[in-house]
A and B are shown apart, each in its own frame.
Chain A
Amino acid sequence: MGPRDFEFLKDFLQGRSGLVITPDKKYLIDTRLLPVVHSHGLKTIPDVIEILRCGENEILAVDVTEAMTTNESLFFRDDSPFDLFRQQILPMLLERRKDKRKFRIWCAACSSGQEPYSLAMILHQEQNRLAGWKAEIVATDISHDILERARKAIFTQFEVQRGLPVEMLLKHFVQDGDYWQLSDQIRNMVRFEYLNLLESIKSVGKFDVIFCRNVLIYFDLDTKRSVLEGLRSALVNDGALFLGGSESTMGICEDFIPVPDVRGVYRKTECIDSVAG
């Protein structure tokens, strides 16, 4: 692929999903786009780019955008955010929302579902305390393919061994050959929807807790800032925002400040008594 094609693809992806690709990531383009090339009956990546330039093949444009996303995820990723959710945030919500008996959680880049399902398994563990409560988990992603996989909730042996405690495997999964199917009970606790963080954040409503983990890393500074501003308006005032282990709002967005002593958790700057402490 020549430099002009690379530049075009770079701008195209940045405009579509926010993804920034640098020249040293060129190899990713080959491995990820070749399947798209073939599934559209084309021969080379420059063929794809030529069609994208015309701007008339939306299906191809979507396929290219989705193929370039990194969907790596695992259950209870990094453990500590989920421990914090269980030990601190959830008890706070139970206390503060006891009149409404209702709260909402949003996983804003949910990939194949491990993150929202981890939260659902935690809520299930606490089901006695949550009796009579309405706890909603909304999980969104830009990739239709990955959302389809997330809804099916069928995981490989490798996936169920990364982060998932074996007692939860026994409790919530049934084995089907080499695969593991998550129970309907947990699946039904999560609602999956398409959402591009660059576009329509306002449409999702308000949330008490937002997980937006390991997606900002792919964006440039301006995109990070505008996504964080969007998350700010989607988060209730005393809500908690969870970012990935290598992500931060520092120096990007003044609306959030880190919660002391717990990595990756943020609250609104304007709020002094957040559920995040």
Chain B
Amino acid sequence: MKSCLIVDDSKVIRMVAKKILEDLEFETIEAADGQQALDACQATMPDAVLLDWNMPVMSGIEFLRELRAMSGGDKPIVVFCTTENDIEHIQDAIEAGANEYIMKPFDGEIIQAKFSQVGLL
């Protein structure tokens, strides 16, 4: 079973994502901000990260940069999932090492399509 770290400060979003990812047979771990996510990655590197942008303590993009600099941090496939839907944000995300990008609102179909594109399914 593959693992996916869900990083979002909204509990509701984490719940929705968790349900979708479990249906896609992922084991899920949750983090409410970038720092918690980093801690989780330090403990065990997940196969995938579903990542929000705006969060307290540490934002998604800051987390991503730190993650990519960590040893083994190049492995996880990172899919942004955020309301930031302008081309500049998308570009920054890809430059920082994101593999895919989902613009909220999202649904199971979009997550499934994106995850299969990046070879997670």
Contacts and interface: CB of A to CB of B under 8 A. Distances in A.
A74 B114 CA distance: 13
Nearest to B109: A162
B113 A161 contact: yes
Contact of A161 (B86, B94, B114): B114
Task: Provide the main secondary structure of the chain B interface.
Answer: helix
B53 interface: no
Contacts of B13: none
A179 B114 CA distance: 19
Interface in A148-203: 157-158, 161-163, 165-167, 169-170, 174-175
Q: Which of B86, B103, B106 has the most CB of A within 10 A?
A: B103
Interface in B69-121: 85-87, 90-91, 94, 100-103, 106, 109-110, 113-114, 116-117
B117 A161 contact: no
Interface residues of A, number: 14
A24 interface: no
Nearest to B103: A157
B113 A166 contact: no
A74 B113 CA distance: 10
Given A166-B90, A175-B87, A161 B116 contact: no
A228 B117 CA distance: 31
A161 B91 contact: no
B86 A167 contact: no
A170 B90 contact: yes
Contacts of A166: 90, 94, 100-101
A163 B110 CA distance: 8
Contact of A79 (B90, B101, B103, B116): B116
Given A157-B85, A161-B102, A161-B103, A169 B90 contact: yes
Contacts of A158: 110
A174 B87 CA distance: 8
A163 B113 contact: yes
Interface residues of B, number: 17
A90 B84 CA distance: 37
Nearest to B116: A79
Contacts of B94: 166-167, 170
Q: Which of A74, A79, A166, A175 has the most CB of B within 10 A?
A: A166
Nearest to B101: A166
Contacts of B91: 170
B22 to A, nearest CB: 21
Q: Which 9 A-B pairs have the closest CB atoms?
A: A166-B101, A161-B110, A175-B87, A166-B100, A157-B103, A162-B113, A165-B117, A163-B113, A170-B90
Interface of A: 74, 79, 157-158, 161-163, 165-167, 169-170, 174-175
19 contacts: A74-B113, A79-B116, A157-B85, A157-B103, A161-B102, A161-B106, A161-B113, A161-B114, A162-B110, A163-B117, A165-B100, A165-B117, A166-B90, A166-B94, A169-B101, A170-B90, A170-B91, A174-B87, A175-B86
Given A165-B100, A170-B90, A170-B91, 13 more contacts: A79-B116, A79-B117, A157-B103, A158-B110, A161-B106, A161-B113, A162-B109, A162-B110, A162-B113, A165-B117, A169-B90, A170-B94, A175-B86
